[in-house]
Amino acid sequence: MSSSRSATELLPLIRRDEAVLLPTDTVPALAIQPIAAARVWELKRRPADKPLILMAADLNQLRTALSVPWLDPWLLEAERVWPGAVTLVLPIAGALQRRLNPGGTSLGMRVPACPMTQALLRLSGPLATTSVNLSGEPPALTAEQAHRMFPALPLLGPLPWPPGSGIPSEVREWDQDRWTVLRPMSPTPVP
């Protein structure tokens, strides 16, 4: 596949607010600078009321990007589940929240357990992400499937990507001083 590029080759594209395709430990991700997040809804034909998540290389990168105090239970849960296949949704307001969850009052975040994507995120900073698919369709599970769905977008190389679980991340939301599971981890991969 000729459209794969190293992290350092993708960085100028990301800085120009272009979308890219990445592997994760779950399903491949479509990623872009948060300031250009509206492009993702357009590419995916996704309703604007379906939020994106902020993906980062590590917890510290998220804390720095958000510049808000994190409650102890948020930190404890993040340290327990990241890097990994859990998205934490926190009641955080601000520019990033408004860009990734317009009209909402929270922000979903994740640190994937995928070393090559973590390396890119260390260079780029946190990115707005979502699964690689058109809205309502099953997500891509491989680089080849991702490329077929969005042939104009570059892929993080080298290929082949490390295999993900094929299962979208579990989603947990902080609500009224406790965690609520919004989307449990499915026991079987997406067909």
Q: Is residue 106 part of a domain?
A: yes
Residue 27 lies in a domain: yes
Residue 80 lies in a domain: yes
Q: What CATH number does residue 122 fall under?
A: 3.90.870.10
Question: For residue 191, is pLDDT > 50?
Answer: no
Total domains in the fold of the chain: 1
Q: How far apart are CA 90 and CA 168, in angstroms?
A: 19
pLDDT at 163 over 70: yes
d(CA 160, CA 180): 36
Amino acid 188: pLDDT: 57
In a domain, 22, yes or no: yes
Residue 145 lies in a domain: yes
> CA-based Rg of the chain, rounded to a whole angstrom?
15
| Average of per-residue pLDDT across 106-132 | 97
Q: How confident is the model at residue 185 (pLDDT cuts 50, 70, 90)?
A: confident
User: What are 72-91's pLDDT values in tens digits?
Assistant: 999 999 999 999 999 999 99
The verdict on residue 190 lying in a domain is: no
Any domain includes 58? yes
Q: Is residue 50 in a domain?
A: yes
The residue-averaged pLDDT of 135-162 equals 96
The predicted pLDDT at position 147 comes to: 97
Boundaries of domain holding 142? 4-182
Binned at pLDDT 50, 70 and 90, residue 158 comes out as very high
68: pLDDT strictly greater than 90:
no
Instruction: Find, among 14, 43, 34, the residue nearest to 152 by Cα.
Output: 43
